[in-house]
Structure 1
Amino acid sequence: MKRRIVQHGSSSLTITLPIKWATKYDLKKGDELELEMSGPILMVSTTKEIASPKKEVSVSDSGIFTKNNLSHLYQLGYDEIVIRYEDPSTLEEIKRRIVGCMGYEIIDQKENRVYIKSIATTIETEFDTLLRKSFQITNEMARSVLEALEKQEFEKLKEIRNMESLNNKFTDICLRILNKKGYKVPKRTMQIYEIVKNIERIADEFKYICNTFESYNKKISKEVLLAFKESIDYYLAFYEMFYKFDPKLKKKLYLGRKGLVKKYSTALEKSKGTEAMFYHHLINIVQKTYDGAGGYFALVL
């Protein structure tokens, strides 16, 4: 897109804003814009949000309304939602899921219809804090699962598993912010989005490990525990590198994946039952960590 420079007086130069962009963000005369200069590049941005339209959903049209449907609407950035339903169980499903959508509240309820609205504003300006919290919950979940398995305290896994739901709260609102506002570096929104998704997926794998061993009653071998610790160390290397770049960690992440995946794949082929499923989850942890790291490598270019 090109714009012609217009001179006003002896010292002022102006350009016009694209009307489509100005309309999208409801910009008017007198509004302030942020300008950032970087060599020959001048970046113009606004702190105004895109007006999010209301979304009305008919359960009969979609066949079934699940908890994931509400999460997807939340992530997409809708501030007001109307859901029409016939089966009362749909409302109960919505009530269970809305607890995990920070800022969403049921503001009205009529016959076969529920109205949901976002009452959060300031929290959506704190993306970096929310992302760090997502990492930290996943870190703690990893360490807690490992400790429970090392001590054969399988009864603790049910409680640890609940941390995944807390993680979802933070990753969901991160995705919501990215869909509504984009990332602070607009051209890198896609990369940071992929990082958030993979943090969520890694936490899912730790939850699946909790499910796998929750009712386990055998001693876990040292080889299995060592393999688990290796996968956690691989993930934590990604976390550390995200907040403080280290060439050694980049090398570990980039070159270490194939060796770990090969090692766990071989162990999986030799294992049965619970241990085989366990190695499957370790492969996923390593692969999803690598995918997240790939987003990071693109993010910092």
Structure 2
Amino acid sequence: DEVEVSDADNALLISASRKGELTLKKEIKVPTPYEYMNRLIDIPYIQGYDEIIIHFEDAKVMNLVVEEAEKLLGMEIVNQAETSCTLKNVAEALEQEFDNILRRLFLLIKSMAEDSYAAVKEKDYERLKNIADLERMCNKYALFCLRIVNKYGYKNSKEEKFVFHTIAVLEQLADHYTYICKHLVETKEKIAPETIMFYKG
């Protein structure tokens, strides 16, 4: 929690503000595309920053920011100048939908598991390619859920770290299903029946 200081009736009041009540701003410098990394934007987003200002020298950085912004649920580019741009949270109402978004993440990964098993069994490589494309949406949901836990905490504070870790593991699970799908699409590798049964679980 943050400490809030205010002046009332000639008295100095000091109180703790609750998580999420403050509007947090972050400024970062990314001079060229060679110095750009997605995590430079992802980490402040997960940490709960509502406004992220990116300063750059090479306009090509802007293209990378636009691409990454599409992965961040609730964030949009609200200002663009010659050497900077601003990402801002424009969907505060959406932040009350944590349980629904987390449920969507669970269901999406469950769908990836079931559909990839069926596609592997049937050697349906086009379907495997489509399943791999779902990773982008999984990442979007996972980053959003991590952000909400960081910004507001969890309804049961004792479970907060467990929930945060669970979300991170779910995102990694989606990555692994994606790697499997992409590998099979690229190699057309023959899968032994025992391996398929193991994959079914």
**Structure 1 SS opposite 2:35:** coil
Where do residues 115-130 of structure 1 align in structure 2 (5 Å cutoff)?
115-130=86-101
Whether the 8 Å CA contact 2:24–2:48 is kept in 1: the answer is: no
Gaps of 5+ in 1: 1-19, 29-44, 231-301
Larger Rg: 1
Query: TM-score under structure 2 normalisation?
Result: 0.87
Query: TM-score under structure 1 normalisation?
Result: 0.59
CA 1:130 to 1:218, structure 2 compared with 1: closer, same or farther past 3 Å? closer
| Counterpart residue number, 2:73 | 102
Whether the 8 Å CA contact 2:28–2:55 is kept in 1: the answer is: yes
| Counterpart residue number, 1:285 | none
| RMSD between superposed Cα atoms in Å | 2.4
d(CA) in 1 for partners of 2:142, 2:2: 28
| Counterpart residue number, 1:70 | 41
Q: Shift in Å at residue 189 of structure 1?
A: 1.2
- Cα displacement string for residues 6-38 of structure 1 (whole angstroms, at most 9, x for unaligned residues): xxxxxxxxxxxxxx86628x8x9xxxxxxxxxx
Q: Shift in Å at residue 220 of structure 1?
A: 2.0
- Cα displacement string for residues 132-168 of structure 1 (whole angstroms, at most 9, x for unaligned residues): 1110000001111111110011122221111111111
Q: Shift in Å at residue 69 of structure 1?
A: 2.3
CA 1:131 to 1:156, structure 2 compared with 1: closer, same or farther past 3 Å? same
Pairing partner for 2:4 from 23, 31, 34: 23
- Cα displacement string for residues 160-189 of structure 1 (whole angstroms, at most 9, x for unaligned residues): 111111111111111010111000012321
d(CA) in 2 for partners of 1:177, 1:109: 26
- Cα displacement string for residues 88-136 of structure 1 (whole angstroms, at most 9, x for unaligned residues): 2221111111111111111111111111111011111121111111100
* 2:85 counterpart of 1:114: yes
Pick the structure with more strand per residue: 2
* 2:108 counterpart of 1:137: yes
**Structure 2 SS opposite 1:220:** coil
**Structure 2 SS opposite 1:23:** strand
Q: Shift in Å at residue 48 of structure 1?
A: 6.9
Whether the 8 Å CA contact 2:2–2:17 is kept in 1: the answer is: no
CA 1:219 to 1:70, structure 2 compared with 1: closer, same or farther past 3 Å? same
CA 1:216 to 1:55, structure 2 compared with 1: closer, same or farther past 3 Å? same
Where do residues 62-211 of structure 1 align in structure 2 (5 Å cutoff)?
64-211=35-182
d(CA) in 1 for partners of 2:82, 2:121: 52
Identity %: 30
Gaps of 5+ in 2: 9-15
d(CA) in 1 for partners of 2:71, 2:64: 12
Whether the 8 Å CA contact 1:154–1:216 is kept in 2: the answer is: no
Whether the 8 Å CA contact 2:56–2:83 is kept in 1: the answer is: yes
Larger RCO: Structure 1 or Structure 2 (Cα < 8 Å, ≥ 6 residues apart)? 2
d(CA) in 1 for partners of 2:181, 2:19: 43
